[in-house]
Structure 1
Amino acid sequence: MSEIRLQPWETRIEELTCQQYGLSSETLVKAAHAAGKGVQAAYKTAGRFKKAGRAHVIRVDFGSSGPWRHSSDFDEPDTVPHGPLWIYPTREIAWAYLEFDPGEWTPKPSTAAHLTAVSELRLALTGLDTNPQVWTSERLLRRQIKTVPGQPTDRIHDAWFRDFTDPDKVWAIEVELSRKFGDGRLLKVMTSALETAERHDLAGVLYFVRGEGLRRAVEGTAARLANKRGVDSLSNLEIHDLDATLARKGVR
């Protein structure tokens, strides 16, 4: 790994990328925009990270039709691109920022869309703030939450988010992009998310959902949970439209 001098905004983005596992190229551009930089600066930074041995840049084909443009910087000359480019730090770089060995990690098609949505929501809510007390990413939560043998298994939320209107409150973040069918899966997932939040004395769970159909399903399940608890509604669960939130914050 060669030494390079990073600008402060590049350091912030590199740390955010480590906390979020990695970023798609589109999300990287949005992160650069949050720093007041343009598309070319984002791709140039990705190239510098890769050339210096600080990060990997690969294609992740998760089935979307694109269109995908060939990158002279990151694709082989005869490559027909499928899926977006992803940048993710090497194990050593992630270790340096996270202060623990995160192990090897590579982006997978099965989780790429979800990780992208969570990272974009983070940019919408907290910008480039990398203070783990403001936004505790899933990667950090997996290190922080220890499951006690014999106790209920804690769900790892997509993030914990400190309420900027009331800093004494920390909310669990859950992002849902598609309906979970079969064997009451949505009910089980939402129950687990709420119970874990309660065990850790969080204010509750903020659900960000994509699509009207999914929103109705989550709202219906929330009503069932409230009924099981003998209340009209759950005071510790809020449901928000993901895309409306991103658009309102200028990230969509």
Structure 2
Amino acid sequence: MSAPEIRWQPRDTTLLEWIAQQYGVPIALIGKAAGVRSSQTYAMVHRWKLGGRVHVERIDYGAPSSWRRSKQFDGPGVVPNGPLWVYTDRETGWGYLGFDPGEWHPKASTAAHLTAVSELRLALTGLETDPEVWTSERLLRRFVKPEGGQPNPHLHDAWFRDFTDPDKVWAIEVELTRKRGEGRLMRSMAAALDAADRHDLAGVLYFVRGESLRRALDGIAVRLAHQRGIERLLNLEIHDLDATLARKGVR
């Protein structure tokens, strides 16, 4: 007996394109983006998997929670650790992105950061997939060409078009923990600002987790401004990530 035909809905197309642009996302965020219950989310993703569009993989990166075994996605006897991640297969990603993305698999070392960036995107632009509105890091990596044959010194987490002034595009940076090492955070901020200038962006919007990191970045911004001979950096804004997510109903 042949497998039943899978009917693809417009919502499937939008979600799969959004996921492809973000590399991949945890399954719970898909449910939040689609506005459906957990059981509906799992059924939808299971349908995608049966249709050969996505891979589903559990990634343990120390995220605190009580993980429940999934009958659809966990093998027999598997003890679940970490969230289930959903990402498009190579061919599906190619179709949505317009270029061959190669093979990609989520890593524990970057999962928390990719999750936060995707949550922020959902909070700021919803499920909009127009790259003129939100240009994901995956697209930037493909289309922002280095100058003079040199590698890009800094790649932003995304670019975001200002709703209040569509002529302005801002670079997005998401920071979850303080970078260790003498001057590392200052060098990172300087590189982000310099890259924004090179690409004629309005500036950089930082979204940070925790008051301690916020204070550290505020202090570095003051020092960096003084180094550049100005009172303050007019092309830099620092925002609280979790407050932004909560205000937009994502957290």
Q: Where on the TM-score scale, by shorter chain, does this alignment land: which range? A: over 0.9
Alignment correspondent of 1:10: 12
Q: CA deviation at 1:230?
A: 1.1
Could you tell me which residue of structure 2 aligns to residue 96 of structure 1? 95
Measure the CA separation in 2 of the matches of 1:162 and 1:25.
27
The alignment's TM-score, normalised by the length of structure 1, stands at: 0.95
Alignment of 1:186-201 (within 5 A): 186-201=185-200
**Structure 1 residue 64: Cα displacement:** 2.7
Structure-1 residue corresponding to 2:33: 31
Residue 4 of structure 1 and its aligned partner are, at CA, apart by 3.0
Aligned to 2:55: 56
**CA distance 1:161–1:3, change in 2 (3 Å):** farther
SS in 2 for 1:10: helix
Deviations 1:129-173 (A, max 9, x none): 000000000000000111123658341100000001100000000
**CA separation of 1:88 and 1:200: change in aligned 2, threshold 3 A:** same
Q: Is the CA contact 2:225–2:232 (under 8 Å) kept in the aligned structure 1?
A: yes
The AA in structure 2 aligned to 1:26 is A
> Relative to 1, partners in 2 of residues 1:16 and 1:224: Cα closer, same or farther, differing over 3 Å?
same
Q: 1:160 to 1:2 in 2, by over 3 A?
A: farther
Mapped to 1, the partners of 2:144 and 2:5 lie a distance apart of: 34
Change (3 A) 1:193 1:214: same
* Structural mapping, 1:1-252, within 5 Å: 4-33=6-35, 37-149=36-148, 153-252=152-251
Larger deviation, residues 227-236 vs 146-155: 146-155
Please say which of residues 39-48 and 16-25 is displaced more in the overlay: 39-48
* Counterparts of 2:90 and 2:150, CA distance in 1: 32
Distance 1:151 1:72, change over 3 A: closer
Matched letter for residue 23 of structure 2: Y
Range that drifts further, 92-101 or 65-74: 65-74
Residues 153 and 58 of structure 1: CA distance in aligned 2, closer, same or farther (over 3 Å)? closer
Identity of matched residues, %: 64
CA contact (8 A) 2:120 2:245 kept: yes
Q: CA deviation at 1:248?
A: 0.3
Which 5+ residue runs of structure 2 have no aligned equivalent?
Answer: none
CA contact (8 A) 1:32 1:39 kept: no
* SS of corresponding position for 1:66: coil
Question: Normalising to structure 2: TM-score of the pair?
Answer: 0.96
| Secondary structure of the corresponding residue to residue 76 of structure 2 | coil
CA distance in 1, matches of 2:147, 2:83: 39
Structure 2 CA distance for partners of 1:139 and 1:70, relative to 1, 3 Å: same
- Distance, in Å, in 1 between the alignment partners of 2:223 and 2:27 is 40
Rounded Cα–Cα distance in structure 2 between residues aligned with 1:152 and 1:82: 37
What is the DSSP-based 3-state SS (H/G/I as helix, E as strand, rest coil) of the residue aligned with 1:149? Answer: helix
Amino acid at match of 2:16: E
Q: Distance in 1 between matches of 2:180 and 2:4?
A: 48
Question: How many pairs does the alignment contain?
Answer: 249
Counterpart residue identity of residue 21, structure 2? Q
Q: CA RMSD in A?
A: 1.5
Q: Deviations over 1:80-117 (max 9, x none)?
A: 00000000000000000001001100000000000000
Deviation, 1:38, is: 2.8
